[in-house]
Chain A
Amino acid sequence: MLALEGVSREFANGAGVRDVSLTVPAGQIVALIGLNGAGKTTLMRLALGMLRPRAGGVHLVGEPLPGLPAARWREVGALIEVPLAYPELTARENVRIVSLLRGLPANRIDSVLHYWGLDPVADRRFRHLSLGNRQRVGLATALGHDPRLIVLDEPSIALDPASVIVLRETLRQRAAAGAAVLVSSHHLDEVARIADRIVVMNAGRLIGELDPAAADLERVFFQRVLADDERRGAEPAPAPSAGGQQPGAQPGAQEEP
């Protein structure tokens, strides 16, 4: 459903992702975890075409991303950083405009608002909503059309415990219905409850997976990240070359002169 193959995209400041390969098959919830700046959001932006990779490729709902027909985006639901919601519109109007753009029937709007507990604030302007309600509007616009591929960046930010449970159940139900889910989070304990796989990201690379059922996940996670940092720190810096280094190539992997 979502496949990144050898994807690299680096920025001038050295941040970015390098040689990332990741598959999120139908019916699976994959959690992406990492420290701040690990490259999670960049990876998700690459997965959704917000950034174009300098190397590698992305397949979305079975098709290569650059040529994905516009209509196929109807199968995708995403929330990256900022909800698709406008301050001058009410919660109801925000759900309505996204439904319009996706070609959904108007009679679905009330049920989506109800599902996300937005009935009491449905006719309040988005700018006057609490942070938690804004995030719920964002989730309603991202997931209200029952997408087959879901990509969420830190979706539980600002949500109250009840909304976190609704989100968790929604993702489980969508995955059970065959949807592929990629979700990033800082909260290991939270993603461990729903994820089929936990993928660890550090310094722009995927450095392994964690077993969601394993004990003391946080300790294992930090050990992995620390070991990766130490390994990278111990490696010699890559020598500059006129031809440049291949994206994703490991530092220190050059041939001896």
Chain B
Amino acid sequence: MVVQESCDRAGGVVIAAARVEALKLTRSLVGLVATAAIIGGTLVLVWGITAALRSGNEEVIAQMGPNAALDWPGLLAIGTQIIAAGGMVGFGVVLTWILGREFTDGTITGLFALPVSRGLIAGAKMGVYAVWVLGVSLALTAGLGLLGAVLGYGAPTPDTWAGLGRLLGLGVLTGAVAVPVAWVATVARSVLAGVGATVGLVVMAQVGVVAGAAGWFPLAAPAMWALDPAHVTGAQLALVMVIPAVFVPLTWISWQRVELDR
């Protein structure tokens, strides 16, 4: 009976913390603008590049290389490249704001005298972030599917559905590899430091691709997999999840042990 009550109380605290963090994100300008920018920006960019290909813009055709095709594979390839870079920036900025704003705004002082541990609050923040990433990825995938239909690419084939599924996976995995910025924003107690870390992650992913380590490089593996699943093994893809597996507990512990000594 006592154990049951304790579990109920603990569950209630977790749900309360998650509700609070969800309300803060959905009511914030940062959350709304980032959501609109990631979804709307990606769709507008894909549409713009497609329009340029249709008009025969040689520069864009040359830049897109083998992906300069006006069909489902071409559309998905364009979407993949934009989500891989833009998604990481958008997800990273929102995650660093979710955690770092408590230090920047000074509200961290009020999070000490509460019956909810700071580790749990950090966990709720990252849980809300994960749900938001999933929602944004679903909206992006659905939006690209609709865009393909509007552009007259016909009914999706099984390959197209698989490609759309990989786009959804790419969104989720990109959100996962952005998690280190949560720890950076916490340790540095700064939103700007987290934004800097986000830029660093994007640069590292690009360098990893150029260096040819893409498959085994967790920051670049999701995009490589989404573009060409045959070139990324299951083990390489599983390695991506090492990043959140390390940095979620690190962030939790950092929040639990944080001191206001600066």
Contacts and interface: CB of A to CB of B under 8 A. Distances in A.
Question: A and B: real partners?
Answer: yes
Interface of A: 11, 45, 48-52, 70-74, 76-89, 93, 97-98, 100-103, 141-142, 151
Interface residues of B, number: 28
Interface stretch (B19-27, B64-72, B188-196): B19-27
B109 A11 contact: no
A70 B117 contact: yes
30 contacts: A45-B109, A49-B112, A51-B261, A70-B115, A70-B116, A71-B9, A71-B115, A73-B113, A76-B113, A77-B113, A80-B109, A80-B110, A82-B105, A84-B107, A84-B111, A86-B105, A86-B107, A88-B27, A89-B27, A93-B27, A97-B24, A98-B110, A100-B16, A101-B17, A101-B116, A102-B114, A102-B115, A103-B115, A142-B110, A151-B113
B115 A88 contact: no
A97 B114 contact: no
A84 B110 contact: yes
Given A82-B105, A85-B107, A86-B105, A97 B23 contact: yes
Interface in B15-45: 16-17, 19-20, 23-24, 27-29
Contacts of A83: 107, 110
A103 B13 contact: yes
Contacts of B24: 86, 88-89, 97
A232 B190 CA distance: 38
A63 to B, nearest CB: 14
A141 B111 CA distance: 11
Contacts of A93: 23, 27
B260 interface: yes
A48 B110 CA distance: 10
B114 to A, nearest CB: 5
Given A52-B259, A93-B27, A100 B110 contact: no
A49 B9 CA distance: 23
